[in-house]
Chains A and B, each alone.
Chain A
């Protein structure tokens, strides 16, 4: 067994164990920390697949941004020491059956399908290529989704501010309008 196989099994064991702990942990802050471990191990997998830029994005946006946001909202909305009552036996049993059935079905399908290995030389993914592809309008360019995602991020930012803004009592008309 070569070194990268050991690395892969280590990372995937971490991912599986911590994602199961994320969904069954009864303390919410611990669940968030387990989610952080899952995301960091996933970025390790991206490094193994040779997508260094995406691994860095995963670390900064997911592990650095989203998990911190989740932890902040946990601290705002619940007590740290609060424990969930476990989900009902019937509910958890049927959910487990649904999840297991889906997992087994898709694993069987994956093992059944013959993936064709390609002999095409891999493209070197460097920052220059990523930047050029993001801004090019050619066949391999991604300028349209890039622009759409920037508009989406702006809209999400405005929406988040507008929703979370404290809505006070009914506002009176502004004094400038009253003067007319």
Chain B
């Protein structure tokens, strides 16, 4: 399935995706779009893990299991982050990071 595609293509694709996520993380102000940028970053890391696993260590499964655990951690992170965002919205009626500057309970 991956004949004729060098490993570098996958790594370059993951690097572009990663830094697109970084750009979004730096420029966005809405908390949910920041969370979406983080998802992009995690996804690009998964591509890297799987490409390394398939091309360099095809007799092992370490990369695959790491990606599996990353997906699980990303799901947990998204659930907690979204509950925090909804709580912030209830308290401040906005989820703009520049308006939320108070941690007083």
Contact = CB atoms under 8 A, between A and B. Distances in A.
A8 B74 CA distance: 25
Interface in A1-60: 2, 4-5, 8, 12, 15-16, 19-20, 22-24, 28, 31-32, 35, 38-39, 42, 45-51, 53-54, 57-58
Contact of A142 (B47, B51, B65, B73): B65
A154 to B, nearest CB: 9
Contacts of A142: 65
Contacts, number: 237
B63 to A, nearest CB: 9
A135 interface: no
A100 interface: yes
Interface residues of A, number: 86
**In the complex, which range does the number of interface residues on chain B fall in?**
35 or more
Interface in A111-131: 111, 115-118, 120-123, 125, 129-130
User: Majority SS of interface residues in chain A?
Assistant: helix
A92 B16 contact: no
B59 interface: yes
Interface in B50-105: 50-51, 54-61, 64-65, 67-69, 71-80, 82-87, 89-90, 95
